[in-house]
Structures are given as C-alpha cells and as structure tokens.
Structure 1
C-alpha cells in the first residue's frame, strides 16, 4: 500500500481537517406532504460516536425523518416542516444557514447504491469535493481516495482498478463506494436509508463491519427493517409507528439492548419479536 498522508504524521498535509462526530437532535419535528401529516412532534437525540437505528413498519415516517435530518425533505414541492434539527446545538434550518453546509456535515447513503456509473472509482470518491468547491492537489486526492476506500472496506478489492467505471462493481461494492464518496467531504454525521436491503448476506456483513469501524469517526443513523441487523449494529434504537391513518410517532427509544430485551411498551416488544409489521 502506498504511503498515505492520513497514516503518516510527517507526510503530506490532509485535504480536509477531520471534524469530531456530532450529536444530532430532533426537537418536536412534524412533517407534511401537502395536507397529509406524516410525522407528529418527533423528538430524538442521536448521540455522537454511536449508531442509532430507526425501526418500525413501512409507512411510519422513518425515511422522511431521515431526510429531514439533512434538509432533503424540503426538496419536495409539497413538503412542509415544523420543529428543529440541532447539530451540536445549532439548528440546521436557521435562516442564513446554507443548505450545502448542512449536507456537507450530514451525509446520506441511500437504499439503492447510486455511484455515477460512467465515472471512474477514483472520480466517484472525489465527486463531493467538486460539488463543494474544495480544492486539492493531485497527491492529496490520491491520499483521500485511498483513505476513504479503506474506511469503506473497499480499498484492497479495487486498488488496482481505480480508473474503471463505478458501474462495473457488484451491488455491495457499489454501496461501499457510495459510503467512501460520502466520507470524502468529512461529514460529522452519516445517514443510511436501508443500505443493505438490496444486498446479499456477504455484502450485508461487510457493510455492517464498515458501520462498526466508522462510528468512532462519524455519528451514524440507520433506517433498517432487519431487526437482527438493528440489534447487531446499533447502540441506541427508536421505534416509529403510525396506525389507523395517524402520522408517525416514536413509541419508544433507548439503548438497543433494552429495546430488544426489556422494552417498556408492549407494541415495541411485539414489533421486535416479529408479531406485526
């Protein structure tokens, strides 16, 4: 492996300073699509250096909540929002706070891997730098690509074919490439919307290993319908539920072990044990 500025103190300077992981807090968040209310006064603290899993049946607002956390909800013309989202105490929705700043600090990995298919692996990793007008030397870019692919658990598999297109990778590799791309702009929080739902068990295991390795460097919030996965990868867990046409709410949240083994609400016990949903 080539010497990297990210592992050798005396080597070349980094492209970007690595910020500390942030605590993310939602305060009384409600959301609408036109007249349809999909979330009602959701409050949740997602601690720094932890993995928070959002669980619950389909249609209860988990993915909408995740998109609210990095200001993607407002891209929909009929969408509306109330409440606050705090990144280490600062509201990302404050007037004057640029949406690009929020999305750089709070990255997103989607359910379906979305690398730029005709762009090389190397350029895929660096795509966020261009979008955020971040300049770097060629040596700095080389180091950043190696570092991010290593963190995403992909470097050893692709280091000899960095100029091949991203669309040539398998589904699991493409998802890890998307994680590497998100990491390249140094987010403080990484949101993941069912990142393993379309992957085989081997790829799923690799993504879960990557999540575990990353949480000391970036706060992670993951939506998952896989209860075994939530139990394996998360430190804290929040159970969302919407019933009888009512908007989604958080029924219960807390340490994952308590949520799965000693929940306070019987609906939580029924859901994590597969009795509905």
Structure 2
C-alpha cells in the first residue's frame, strides 16, 4: 500500500470545494462531546439531555434495549437527525470544541468530518467497487484527479480490510459482493472522504458470524486512526471492540437517557447501577 504522508486539505476559492491532496491521511482522530442533547420526532421526545464525551482515537459503544434512543443519538452526532421531517434537536455536539450545529458549519463539513456506516450494507449496486469508494467525494464536494483517486481507493479498501479480496475486480459491481464484503465496502466509502470520526449503527446486525468477525477486526484496526462510535445490541461485541460504553435506557415512557457510562471493563465487570448490571447480564432487553 502507498505510504501516507502528513498533508493538509485546502479549499478552492473559485468553486468552494475541498481539493483532495495527492496523498493524505484522515488527520488526527477527533474528540466528540455531546452536551445536553435532546431529540424529538414531532411532539414525541426520544432523548432527554444526554451528555457524553467520545474520546479521540477510541471506540465508544452505545448499548441498551430497543427504543431507548441510541440510534437517534448517533444520528445527532453528524446532523442526520435533522433530515427527518418534524425532527427537532436541542443541545450541542462539539467537534474538537466547535459546535457542529453552529450556523458557521455547513452540512457537508459535518458529513465529511464525521462519517456514517448504516445497519444494512448500502453500496450503490450498479456502481463498480471502485466507483462506490470514490462516490463520497462528489457528495461532499471534494476534488481529486485520477491518480489521487487510485491511491485513495487502495488506501480506503486496505483500511477497511477489503483490498486483498477485491483488488483484481475493482470494476465489478459492488452489489455482487457478499454481505460482509458489502459492509466493508461501505466502511471504505465512508473512510474515503477521510473523516476524523466514524459512526456505525449496528454494522453487523445483518451479517453472518464470519463476516461479523471480519468487520470487528476492521473496527479494532481503525481504533487509533479514527474515533469510532458504534451502536450495538450484541453485548459480547461491545465488550470485544470498545474501550468505552454508554448504557442507554428509556423507562416507563420517558425519553432515553444514559444510565451509566465509563470504561468498557468497568461497565461489564463492576457496573455501579443495578440496571446496568441486569442489562449486561442479559436479565432484560
């Protein structure tokens, strides 16, 4: 794989688009700090004043039963929540100290710096593997020539643990890959715009055990290179891949809140709240 050197992206003043450097890193992982985040769908409040720091270069797992607001919280972290009709948001999401909801932040800035991988693999089925990886450049207004794209495709597929499996068939449709390969292709596509944070919403829920293991290995390999925030219902997975956990719960029709957050080994080994202990032990949820 081509060696990556330290460079800085620039903006073309004529087109207001980001110009991709010839070869470049994602940049240092960034810290995300959610402060008093609340969220609504119409009049229904699903989150109430959730605060959580997601440290740079670490994997933070969001756990809890269905309906407690984990995925909604994840979507507030790169402003995807606001894409839903009648959705409302309150609070702050600080990216290295800057609020991404501040009017000075363009939506493309948030999406480029804070990438997203969804529950169901969603490659563009008619596009080639190569074109799937570089698709995000156009969506985020990032310019790159052919050589830069070639380097970026290899870099992104390698970081997603897929390069060796597909390097001889880059022009074949992405939809022809297996489910696990499609999910890693989506990870590569997200990495191609060089985010500093990667959000993952139950990325293994639709995968078989072998594919799940490979995606987990990819997450562990990415740790340190990019900040990862993952929603998972799999307690063993949360224990395997994360360094920090946050346990969400919505009780008796109340909005979702964080019951307990801390180092993963503490959440699973010596939780401070009885509800956390019951959940990680499988007594409910």
TM range, normalised to the smaller chain? over 0.9
TM-score (norm 1): 0.95
Match of residue 4 from structure 1: 2
1:273 maps onto 2:275 in alignment? no
Q: Does 1:235 align with 2:243?
A: yes
Alignment of 1:35-184 (within 5 A): 35-184=43-192
Give the distance between the partners of 2:43 and 2:146, measured in 1 at CA.
Answer: 50
Equivalent residues of 1:259, 1:268 under 8 A apart: yes
TM-score (norm 2): 0.93
Question: SS state of the match for residue 53, structure 2?
Answer: strand
Query: Higher mean Cα deviation, 263-272 or 126-135?
Result: 126-135
RMSD: 1.3
> Residue by residue, what CA displacement relative to the aligned partner does 1:129-173 show, whole Å, maximum 9, x if unpaired?
111222222111111101110110001110000000010000000
Q: Per-residue displacement from partner, 1:187-220 (whole Å, max 9, x unpaired)? A: 0100000000000111000001000110111000
CA positional deviation for 1:260: 0.2
| Aligned-partner Cα distance in 2 for 1:34–1:266 | 33
Residue 13 of structure 2 corresponds to which residue in structure 1? none
Q: Deviations over 1:83-139 (max 9, x none)?
A: 000001000000121011001000000000000000000000000111122222211
Q: SS of the residue aligned with 1:32?
A: strand
Equivalent-residue separation in structure 2 for 1:256 and 1:178 (angstroms): 26
Aligned residue among 261, 265, 270 for 1:262: 270
Q: Which runs of 5+ in 2 are unaligned?
A: 8-20
**More deviation, 49-58/76-85:** 76-85
1:50-94 Cα deviation digits (max 9, x unpaired): 000000000000000000000000011211111000001000000
Equivalent of 1:212 in 214, 217, 220: 220
Residues paired across the two proteins, number: 271
